[in-house]
Amino acid sequence: MKAQNQAQENKLEKFKSNIIKEMICEFDTFYDPIDCPEDIVVFDSKSRFFLVLSDNLAMFSRKFNFTGRPPDDYVLPKRDISIPLMRAVYVHPSFRGKGVQENIFSIIIGFAEKHQEPFFAHAKPFDVPNPQLNEDARAAFSGYYHDGIIENRAAPGERDKQRERLKQYGLVSCTPTNGSEDAPDYDLAYVPRSAPSDIHDLILGKPIC
């Protein structure tokens, strides 16, 4: 038990994001400090899904539209921020259509509101190699980890459906400075209602005037 607690503490020390720290405490996790030092993989106890979160990898910078000198008492709003990235979310086929993904986002959004911390996601459905051999999400993650992903572009409109699902959860379109070059329309972020107004403005792309 002492060794497990120490391993948990070691994981927590590696991450800046409070959302990620909460997920580490709430779920089973896998961490590879050598090859993926900024990623944490999350599983639930029933192995219905795996989720990959990355620490502070989505970056936003604010544009400045000043045409003259601002007032001396002007407080400059926050001009850049890095937020955690949801790199992948995979629900095992036997559990799809049962609200698992919605529940995952509900939990993460709850932590986002608690800590006033936004997070970023990219709507990109995918599958893993040899899905028929993967009896649960943990086994599927092995294929993801060793062999990568198979992008799910076969079903027409599948990517649009995923984007709309994320919007239904409360995510909004955004333009991070290091966002997707090939499909920027599928970049989204959740900005907590509890977050300061300058964070809302920054992520939603409102310039400083």
Q: CA 12, 23, 56, 206 torsion: positive or negative?
A: negative
pLDDT of residue 55: 93
Beta carbons within 10 angstroms of residue 42's beta carbon = 21
Can you spell out the DSSP letters for 2-69?
Answer: HHHHHHHHHHHHH---HHHHHHHHHSEEEEETTTEEEEEEEE-TT--EEEEEEEEEEEEE--B--SSP
pLDDT of residue 205: 77
Q: Work out the pLDDT band at 68, boundaries 50, 70, 90.
A: low
Tens-digit pLDDT profile for residues 77-134 = 556 889 999 999 999 988 999 999 999 999 999 999 999 999 999 998 887 876 556 6
Contact 134, 128 (CB under 8 A): yes
- Whichever domain contains 72, its CATH number is 3.40.630.30
Asked whether residue 134 is assigned to any structural domain, the reply reads no
pLDDT of residue 154: 46
In whole angstroms, what is the distance from residue 145 CA to residue 33 CA?
Answer: 14
Mean pLDDT of 22-48: 93
Beta carbons within 10 angstroms of residue 98's beta carbon = 11
The domain tally of the chain equals 1
* DSSP label at residue 121: E
pLDDT of residue 132: 57
Determine which helix (DSSP H) or strand (DSSP E) holds 104, and give its type and residue range.
helix 100-115
pLDDT of residue 5: 61
pLDDT of residue 192: 96
For residue 64, the enclosing domain spans 2-125+154-203
Which of 26-40, 48-62, 125-139 has the lowest average pLDDT? 125-139
For residue 51, pLDDT over 90 is answered with yes
Give me Rg for the CA atoms of the chain. 19
Does residue 148 or residue 66 have the better pLDDT? 148
Q: CA 111, 112, 117, 121 torsion: positive or negative?
A: positive
Asked whether residue 148 is assigned to any structural domain, the reply reads no
Q: Which residue has the tokens 């509900």?
A: 106
pLDDT of residue 209: 46
Tens-digit pLDDT profile for residues 148-184 = 766 655 466 888 999 999 999 999 999 888 877 777 8
pLDDT above 70 as % of the chain: 79
Asked whether residue 80 is assigned to any structural domain, the reply reads yes
